[in-house]
Structure formats: C-alpha cells, structure tokens
Homo-oligomer: A and B are copies of this chain.
C-alpha cells in the first residue's frame, strides 16, 4: 500500500475555493487555467496554489497551465466528491432546513435521505423535498437507510445523547453544527462547524478597523 503524504488542513480547506474558480473557467469554455490566474482571483500566492493542486495528483504544462476538465476531476476525486455520501439531518429547525435546501452540498455528492425532529407539527411532512421523521425513530430509520453521515443541528443539551444514538445506528461521521464538544469513540469522524469562531474573527478585525482611524 502506497503511503501518500497527507494534505495539510489549510490545503484541504482551500481546495473548494480552487474548484469553484476552475468550474467557472470550465463553464466559460476554457481548456487550461494557470495557477497564477487562480492565485490572482483569490489573492493568494501562485506557489501556494501550485503546491496545493499538486496534492490532488494533477500535472500541469509549463507555460500553459492546468487542464481544466482534468483538474476538476482530480479535485473531485481527492475530496471524494465524485462519490455519493448518504446523509440525514438531525434537527429540522431553521439551520437544518437551510442545509436541506443547500444546492452546493447536493452538487458535491451529498444525498440527504431524511430529517428527524421532535416537533409533531413537522413529523410526516417534507422540507425541501426531504421527509421528516420522529426523533424517536432515528435508530431504526438510520439503520434502514444505511446512512453514513449525520448533520447535527439539534439544541446543545440533547446533542451528546442524539450523537450516541446515531453511532449505534451505524453512522460513522457527524457534521456537528451544535456548540457541544461530542465525546464519542475515536473511530467516529466528528467535524465541528463553528459559527462563533468566524464571528470572533470578524469582531477582532472590526475592532482593528475601528482603531485604525
């Protein structure tokens, strides 16, 4: 088995930015795009773009740049966005509903099969085309659907309990939108999505901006 050098976290997080630009170039009918152009668009250094793209296995042509169609494929494959990921949304509040209607995710291979909520008014209905089940049926339904991933948008006080139910039902990855640090088996992938850290950055930069004068 080949031991590939792992990509760094910052690199992985930049790949979707590159992908978007390359897809735009593709729509415009361009066959090649240079790292220099991508870098300008995102206000990054060209060398950083080249280094990042290299991780996907793409090979560019000096003087010409990278083949657009192939680059899209390489990024997709690297991120596993060429395969479907089955997912359920747990907590069909406003954030959960927003995610169910988020086309970007669907385009990137995420298939949201079902949602779960404890509000009787929501159970049995569909939101953005996704059927809503009772929270109590999670274990049963998630097993039946064979879902890989759970998008967790429940209130923080039930997050830990619900997460444990999910793992029992065979879910091995959780996209955690609650601000609860989940304590689960090590082999469960938990990705925390933290709005407050973005808000912290924003606030500090606003403070700096105000102090400039």
Using a CB–CB cutoff of 8 Å, the interface residues on chain A facing chain B are: 7, 9, 12-17, 20, 41-43, 78-81, 85, 93-95, 97-98, 101-102, 104-105, 108, 110, 148-149, 172-173, 175, 179, 181, 187, 189, 191, 193-207, 209, 212
| Cα separation A95 to B149 with both chains bound (whole Å) | 21
- Given the complex, which residues of B lie within 8 Å of A194, measured CB to CB? 13, 16-17
Report the copy number of this chain in the oligomer: 2
Interface residues of chain A: helix, strand, loop or mixed (majority): helix
Candidates B16, B193, B204, B206; contact of A7 at CB < 8 Å: B204
- Given the complex, which residues of B lie within 8 Å of A193, measured CB to CB? 195, 198
| Cα separation A16 to B181 with both chains bound (whole Å) | 13
Instruction: List 6 A-B pairs, Cβ < 8 Å.
Output: A13-B201, A17-B194, A78-B204, A95-B98, A108-B203, A172-B209
B181:A205 contact, CB within 8 angstroms: no
- Given the complex, which residues of B lie within 8 Å of A12, measured CB to CB? 197, 200-201, 204
| Cα separation A202 to B81 with both chains bound (whole Å) | 11
- Given the complex, which residues of B lie within 8 Å of A102, measured CB to CB? 95, 195
